[in-house]
Amino acid sequence: MTQAVPAAGWGGALLGLAASLVLALYGFRAQHRPGTVRTGQLRAATSVMAGGAVLSMAALETALLTDNFAMSYVAETHARATPLLFTITSAWSGLGGSIVLWTLVLAGYIFVAGRNLTGADDRLGTGALGVMGLVAAFFFGMVTTVANPFKILATPPMDGPGPNPLLRNDIMVAIHPPLLYLGFVGFTVSFAYAMSALVLRRGGVDWLVRTRRANLVAWTFLTAGLIVGAWWSYEVLGWGGYWAWDPVENAALIPWLVATAFIHSSVVQVKRGMLQAWNFVLALATFALTILGTFLTRSSVVASVHSFTQSGVGPALLGFLVVVLVAGFTLFALRGEDIATRTRSLRLGSREGLFLVNNLLLCLFAFVVLLGTLYPIFVEALSGGQVSVGRPFFDRMAVPLSFALLLAMGAGPFTPYRWATPGLLWTRLRVPLLLGSAAAAVVTVAGLRSVGAVAVVFLAVTISSASVRQLLVAAPNRRPRGLWRLVTGQRAYWGGQLAHLGVAVVAVAISVSGATTNRATVTLAPGQTAQFAGYTVTLETTEQHVEPDRTLRDAHFVFREDGQAVWTAEPRLETFVNQPQAVGTPTVWSTAGRDIYVALAQLTPENVTVNLYRYPLMSWLWVGGFMIAAGGGWALTGKRRGRLERSTAETAPPAEAKAGA
């Protein structure tokens, strides 16, 4: 049993590798010589691949749950005292296990893609399966070699260090990585179909229509993963924020920005037949950036709160990234002339024009974040020196880009295709602009003095009210049933509007919170008090608790308002068994209007130093983030469109455009 489980896990990965190679071989053969391979053979390969991935993950979990320290991964990432939940999540908290999870998710996407094959003569689909087979072969190959978590130790330890302390004190570690993986890996599908279409010299929208659902699934999960990751950082890391421009966080944001541009530009191509070559570039770039993000996370080339240790995985991923970029863009260069869109005039004052502006801004945003993330690596590689690109650079570049994106996002959905007259735009945006101006005036009178925050409130209210107006004008009637019929009949459009509303809410939360945050650092002995943000803060006592897997030291602060106790904060330091490094865990009091955030800086027997924050509208950030993800989910709930015409109809503007209102 001790050696059987690791052997079964490695055998599952080997089975997945063999099935991947067979799928690649069959897929490319079927693409070039339809009829030589049966559909059942392709689907059987995807099933075997999925079975191998499931077997590997099952073996990994079994080894963790049975304390099988003869297996290298268990010895490095597990401890006997680790609670059950974090024992399960340890399967993806280490380097080798995270690659096993990657293969499992990838095999799932490929399995679904195999079921969507229309037949053995489906050359676009079989070619895409061939590309996906090659990608899967690379990742299964890593599991069987440089990232092998199933190595058997000659001298197993009696116990292990346990998972990283930062990954064992919050339930979101069970959610955040799988969400990101479902997002990252999903973009393999659009990449594979794009490459297959290029090989066939087949332009058009077929590959976009067939990958639309996979793109939305991946984008929705990646959005949710980013939000949960930011929330986890806020609740766990104790640095008093949700986004520190950490290189690993940036590694997930960059492909999200490019994928967002891809989803928007694909609508323009399906609707107007434009931006065809651009969409191939975006599909390729999105996939390449997910590989780059994986490389940054797992190669230890960047210092991060959650990067992995140095191993052979980094060079392997870097080599794979080079192959993807060289092969992908070479193929695009060779086929570009064949798939280029016929020339059409594109006016800025049209929906497709604003979508293109939106695309360019998103890509510029991604480039800025990429530059700030990679610059220190290039400097160190070329000169040996060490530099850091801090928050001021990112903020200085991101703020103006964000304003421009809000402007483009606000006007785009309400601008008709081909051309919008100023009179039509004024009709559609007059009332929203008035409401936005009124909101900006109200918050200014209420005391908000930041010009940037007031401008964001103006834009956010304008965007939101424009969506509401569109809903009321376009609905067959304004009763709930009529509104429901509209949003269920055009799910793609209204899913996009929900996502835009979420972006507006997030923008307001970030700008207002950033402009009006209160911060203080105080040192108190038991019984002493301090004043903060209208509260009297008293350190009551400090305590120490010993649990099977950790020792907790916490401080009890009582917050009083007008003499009445309203909240007790209990921030703590945790020291885990076999992990000498203490981890601080803040405590947060959230309401709809503000958060009070308390994080320990130092705890001694004589006194306690604590960082206090008051963040207005912080809870709006999470609500807005999940509204963005929900928008993607709502767009996904629409009926599958088997015919292109029906698919394009779903992306058409609502009825108001026809009415010319």
The model's pLDDT over 534-582, given as tens digits with 9 standing for 90+, comes to 999 999 999 998 988 888 999 999 999 999 999 999 999 988 877 777 8
Cβ partners under 8 Å of residue 9, min gap 6: 55, 56, 58, 59, 60, 63, 71, 100, 149, 150
Instruction: Specify the pLDDT at position 344.
Output: 64
**Pair 572, 552: CB distance under 8 Å:** yes
**Pair 393, 400: CB distance under 8 Å:** no
Instruction: Specify the pLDDT at position 23.
Output: 97
Instruction: Specify the pLDDT at position 141.
Output: 97
**Pair 107, 57: CB distance under 8 Å:** no
**Pair 54, 12: CB distance under 8 Å:** yes
Quick one: three-class SS letters along 594-607?
EEEEEEEEEECCCC
- CA dihedral (212, 217, 218, 223) in degrees, to 10, reads 120
**Pair 73, 113: CB distance under 8 Å:** no
Amino acid at 259: A
The residue ranges of the chain whose pLDDT is under 70 are 1, 169, 302-311, 341-345, 639-661
Cβ partners under 8 Å of residue 212, min gap 6: 266, 647
Amino acid at 241: G
Instruction: Specify the pLDDT at position 507.
Output: 94
Integer CA distances (angstroms), 114 to 287, 381, 483, 573, in order: 20, 42, 38, 49
The full set of domain ranges for the chain reads 1-153+162-169, 518-618
Integer-rounded Cα radius of gyration of the chain:
27
**Pair 589, 478: CB distance under 8 Å:** no
Cβ partners under 8 Å of residue 385, min gap 6: 379
Instruction: Specify the pLDDT at position 656.
Output: 41
Cα distance between residue 28 and residue 85, in whole Å: 43
Within 13 Å and on the Cβ side, how many CA atoms surround 145?
A: 13
Tokens of 423: 């009179």
Instruction: Specify the pLDDT at position 341.
Output: 61
Cα distance between residue 8 and residue 14, in whole Å: 10
Backbone torsion region of residue 654, taken as left when φ is above 0, otherwise alpha when ψ lies between -120 and 50, otherwise beta: beta
Cα distance between residue 243 and residue 253, in whole Å: 11
Cβ partners under 8 Å of residue 35, min gap 6: 120, 121
Instruction: Specify the pLDDT at position 304.
Output: 59
- CA dihedral (479, 482, 488, 490) in degrees, to 10, reads -120
CA-closest candidate to residue 78, choices 582, 576, 584: 576
CA-closest candidate to residue 23, choices 316, 15, 321: 15
Kindly report the CA angle at 196 between 194 and 202, in degrees rounded to 5?
80
Sign of CA dihedral 195, 197, 203, 207: negative
Fold (CATH) for 1-153+162-169: Four Helix Bundle (Hemerythrin (Met), subunit A) (1.20.120)
Cα distance between residue 503 and residue 587, in whole Å: 27
| Count of residues in the chain | 661
Tokens of 238: 């104790």
Integer CA distances (angstroms), 616 to 398, 596, 624, 649, in order: 21, 9, 14, 42
Instruction: Specify the pLDDT at position 74.
Output: 96
Cα distance between residue 593 and residue 589, in whole Å: 11
pTM of the model: 0.92
Helices (H), 66-122: 72-77, 84-89, 95-115
CA-closest candidate to residue 27, choices 37, 19, 17, 35: 37
Cβ–Cβ contacts within 10 Å for residue 410, how many?
24
Instruction: Specify the pLDDT at position 343.
Output: 60
Cα distance between residue 321 and residue 317, in whole Å: 6
Which secondary structure element, helix H or strand E, spans residue 519, and what is its range?
strand 518-524
Instruction: Specify the pLDDT at position 550.
Output: 86
Cβ–Cβ contacts within 10 Å for residue 505, how many?
23
Tokens of 283: 């599909």
